Structure 1
Amino acid sequence: MDDLEAWLARLTFADLTQDEVTTRIIDAVAAWGEAQGWRVYRRAPSVVTLPPPMDKQHSVLDVALARPGAPPIVVEIDHTDRKRTLEKLRAEAEAGRVPLWVRWGPGRFTDPPAPIRMVPLPVTRHQGRYSRTTEPDRPAPAHSPTAPATAEVTELPW
């Protein structure tokens, strides 16, 4: 899944809301799966049911990828650590699927327990909006090696 991490490393955006970022990442994951020649399912049913009173319905996965001759890949995309996401991905792994968690945000990321694999996607946040650039941070400009020139102070008449 290193190639998904490399694919997402090229993802850039500026001044997006939380929902817009999540949608952009879902689109990128789906495009990655399509580029591999796999079948892509958005909002695919999970093996996990919803909590009561909706326990007859199944939770959904952000993206599921069907691969010929290999187990399906299931992907959840979150900007926070969610216990329910980990429980869902663990259940998917127990059902024979490869669980990936694309975790985005401005903070630190803690690796999930095996067999869940995290794909971290750091972003910056400013005034409730999110941005991501692939350009390295630019260093501060170098200071001039010479001291500034001195000038004589003249009082102005009032």
Structure 2
Amino acid sequence: MAHELTEIGESEILAASLRTYLFETGFSFSGLTGKEATRTITRAVVQWVGASGWRCRSEAQMRYIDPPVLQSGGCIAYWSPSWSAYLDLRVIRKDGPPIAVEIDRADESTAVDKLRDEALRGRPALWIRWHGALRAELPAGVARLHLPTRSSKSPLRYSLAPVAGTETITLGPTVTPEARVEALHRDQQRIADEKRAAARPPGPGRTRCYW
């Protein structure tokens, strides 16, 4: 499959390409649990990647741009954001930068933060959201493809009608050159922070509370 790849709007082009692929292959499912539905959608995305002549890695490690800050949560000290995170899929291409992909049933996840930072690095960012209400705004550079599913109760199961090719694609604003330069500067600072942290003794972890 051929794609018209441009820096501006590339996330949108990829979201539309995936939607077309799902339409042409008649993608649908019925009576699946949440985990089964996520796995089924993920397999379809991986098949689209292969049909495009690319390859992908699942649970691909990435780092947030902003350096972690040590937080206190009662008896536990922890870093926020975490020192490392994982993308559902990282698509590797010879003809462009890697694509960051997140696949989620709900908005209550770290997907937006991960995709925001990948977009700021100049990488296309694609969020596949299925089921439920959608947040109104997206970060710059992120495209969201919504796959509306139906659910049943007792037991809870999800179904997706065959993709019609008109499913909603929502876009964040364009990443400005100034925002990208500033983000890359912060990214370099984050790398330096990681090196300094690696040279220090392990930080605080779980502690015992005495009452």
TM range, smaller chain: 0.7 to 0.9
Q: Which residue does 1:16 correspond to in 2?
A: 32
Aligned-pair distance for 1:119? Answer: 0.8
Which of 80, 83, 88 matches 1:62?
88
Instruction: Show CA shifts across 1:60-90 (max 9, x none).
Output: 1111111112111110001111362111111
Partner-residue secondary structure (3-state), 1:43: strand
CA distance in 1, matches of 2:120, 2:56: 21
Does residue 122 of structure 2 align to residue 96 of structure 1?
yes
1:1-158 superposed matches below 5 A: 1=14, 2-9=16-23, 10-48=26-64, 52-53=78-79, 57-82=83-108, 84-107=110-133, 110=136, 112-127=138-153, 128-134=156-162
Identity of aligned residues (%): 33
Q: Name structure 2 gaps, 5 residues minimum.
A: 1-13, 70-77, 165-211
**In the alignment, is the contact (CA less than 8 A) between 1:29 and 1:63 conserved in 2?**
no
Q: Which has the higher strand share?
A: 1
Structure 1 residue runs without a partner (length 5+): 137-158
Q: How many residues align?
A: 136
- Structure 1 residues 119 and 56 mapped into 2: Cα distance closer, same or farther (>3 Å)? closer
Separation (CA, whole Å) in 2 of partners of 1:114 and 1:84: 16
Measured against aligned partners, the alpha-carbon deviations of 1:86-112 in whole angstroms (never above 9, x if no partner) come to: 111111112221100000005456452
Please state which structure has a larger fraction of its residues in helix: 2
| Alignment partner, residue 154 of structure 1 | none
Q: RMSD across aligned C-alpha pairs, in angstroms?
A: 2.5
Of the structure 1 ranges 117-126 and 42-51, higher mean CA displacement relative to structure 2 is found in 42-51
Equivalent residue letter for 2:122: G
